[in-house]
Structures are given as structure tokens and as C-alpha cells.
Amino acid sequence: MDLDAYSAAHRAEWDRLAALGRRRQLSGAQSDELIQAYQAGATQLSVIKTAAGSTMQGDRLSVLLSRARLRFTGAGTNVLSQLPRFFLTQLPAALHRLRWLTLAVAVVTFVVAGLYAVWATNNPDVLANFGSPAELEQLANQSFVSYYSENPAASFAGRVWTNNAWIAAQCVAFGILGVYVPYIVLQNAQNLGVTAAVMFAYDEGDTFFLYIAPHGLLELTAIFVAAAAGLRIFWAWIAPGARTRGQALAEDARALFTVAIGLVFVLLVSGIIEGFVTPAPWPWPVKIGIGAAALLAFLAYMLVLGGRAVRAGETGDLAEFEAGSARVFAG
């Protein structure tokens, strides 16, 4: 291998690696660029050492890589000090950017659920496909209500929390596939519609709404947000605009991962309401009021605090948070 020619071919990359390694602060895009330059430089150093052993060019590149690595492994600010910014600006900004898509997902869900409910209620043959008359009566008169109290409240709350958080994470992670999020949305709508149809068929429509409302107001909204995040990632791949598809996916996925983290906490709240409030022997106005208050608090966080963060220039991008965290947790 002609070492001089190889060095000349990659000199611009090494100069850029050196420049990024010397910067006191890095933006999100520069952090990504530094990581890519570090990975490329490590590969190039391996090529040099394999072909020529210890060389001046290899030693210089090794120093540049060490300096770059220190940007992520050196002493830095405790990650806990970055949490206020995450919860007060980054997360609400990321949620705010999904507000209209979240509304669209909610409208589609309720329209499809309503159509399923009307179709099944007005067609006994359709309703019969979901179980025998005895099974449907059992669901309407006993199983639907007992589901919320047949297990200890703490374990039930934990189970529904982890299940819903897993569904939300899947919506974000698999959103790029394009078909996964619509499948989840339609499946959720079908389940709502069919259950409502069974309950109304046996004159338990009020029971359906009374037991769904306390926790469902916040829980369903969180799932709508997760679905919106997944669809946003898919759209970044379909229509990246002036960005390359890789850039669009990286930027939007990083920002929407913020949403996935935030929804874990939102769904924890809805899980606690479902486990402890929904089955509680309290007046229904109190239980529904608690669910409504939780929803209003989330909407204020998303729309009011999020709008303020967006107007202040916050993007919801996790790059700076990740860069600071890497200095604490990296080797």
C-alpha cells in the first residue's frame, strides 16, 4: 500500500476529526459527525497498522482518535443535572410537534371503533362471531367489570403499565415499516368497537363507559401519541424534504425517541389509575374526574409547555442529552 497516497486521500477527513475534537461544545449534528468520523478513523488506523505497522501517520491518527474519544468518555456534568431540561423543554417540545398527527390518529380510532360498534350491534350474526350468547353475556355482566379487580391492584397496575409501554415503544420503533402503526391503530379501534357492541347489546353501555373513562382518557391519548410518533418516522423516510433520507430518519428518530421515554411515565400514571382508581368503590364522578384531571394535565404539558418550548427554539432532539450522558456512563 502507498501510505503517502492513502494519507493524502483521507487527510481532509482527519483534519475534520481534529477540528471536531478540539471544539469546546458540539451541536447534535456535530456530535453525530464526530462519531462517524471516529468510526471511520478507527477503520483507517487499522488498515495502516495492518499494512505498514507503526508509522508517523498512524501515530498522528491514533492521537486524533484518542482526543475524539475523550469527548465522550471524559469527565462531564452529572446526567441528573440534565433531567430538568429534558422534562421541561425537550420532551414537551417533541410532544407538541405531534399534536395534529395525534389528533388525526384519535379521530380515526374513534370513527373506526364507532363503525365497528354500530355494525356489530345492528347485526346479530356479526356479534355471534365473537362468542356464544352465554360467553357474551358473561363478558357483559361479569368479566368486563371483574377484570379490573380480580388481581391485586399493584400487580395489575404494573402489568397494564408494562404492556401499554411495550405497545407504545413498538409503535415508535417499528413506525418506519409503514404498516405496523396502522395495524395497531385499527386493531385497537376494533377491540374498542366490538367490546362496546357487546356491552350495549346486553344493556351495559353505561358500565362500558364508566369503567373505560377513568384510565382510558390518558391511556388512549398516550397510545395515540405513540402512533403519531411512529407515523412521523415513516413520513421522514417517505418525504425527507431537503435532507437525505438517512439524515431525516436520524434526526426525527432521535427526537421521537424522546417521546418514547416520556410515554413510559405517562403510561405509568394511567396504569396507577387503572389499578387503583377504576375498580375503587368511589363515586363515579370522582373517578372520572381523576382521569379527566390527568388528561388535562398531560394536554397542558403537551400544548402549553410544549408550545412555549418550541417557540424558544427547542427541537426535542436528544443529541445533546446523549452526549452529556455518554460522558457519565461511557467506559
The count of domains in the chain is: 2
Single-letter code of the amino acid located at 226:
A
156 and 205: one domain?
A: yes
Q: Which of 71, 98, 114 is the last residue of a domain?
A: 71
Considering the domain boundaries, does residue 184 fall inside one?
yes
137 and 49: one domain?
A: no
1 and 146: one domain?
A: no
Q: Which of 71, 87, 118 is the last residue of a domain?
A: 71
89 and 169: one domain?
A: yes
* Nearest residue to 307 (alpha-carbon basis) of 116, 100, 122, 78: 100
Q: Residues 32-82: pLDDT tens digits?
A: 888 888 888 888 888 887 777 767 777 788 888 887 877 765 544 555 667
CA dist., res. 12 & res. 30, Å (int): 16
pLDDT, average across residues 299-325: 74
147 and 217: one domain?
A: yes
pLDDT score, position 289: 97
97 and 29: one domain?
A: no
Cell 432521535 appears where? 254
Q: What percent of the chain has pLDDT over 70?
A: 91
Considering the domain boundaries, does residue 327 fall inside one?
no
Considering the domain boundaries, does residue 331 fall inside one?
no
Of the segments 49-53, 241-245, 256-260, which one has the largest average pLDDT value?
256-260
206 and 288: one domain?
A: yes
Q: Which residues constitute the domain of residue 62?
A: 1-71
Q: Residues 113-136: pLDDT tens digits?
A: 999 999 999 888 888 888 888 999
Q: How confident is the model at residue 101 (pLDDT cuts 50, 70, 90)?
A: very high
39 and 83: one domain?
A: no
85 and 50: one domain?
A: no
Of the segments 158-172, 252-266, 310-324, which one has the largest average pLDDT value?
158-172
59 and 205: one domain?
A: no
145 and 246: one domain?
A: yes
Question: What's the whole-number average pLDDT of the chain?
Answer: 86
CA dist., res. 133 & res. 143, Å (int): 14
State the DSSP code for 81. Answer: G
Q: Which three cell numbers stand for residue 24?
A: 469546546
Considering the domain boundaries, does residue 227 fall inside one?
yes
Q: Which of 49, 71, 93 is the last residue of a domain?
A: 71
Considering the domain boundaries, does residue 6 fall inside one?
yes
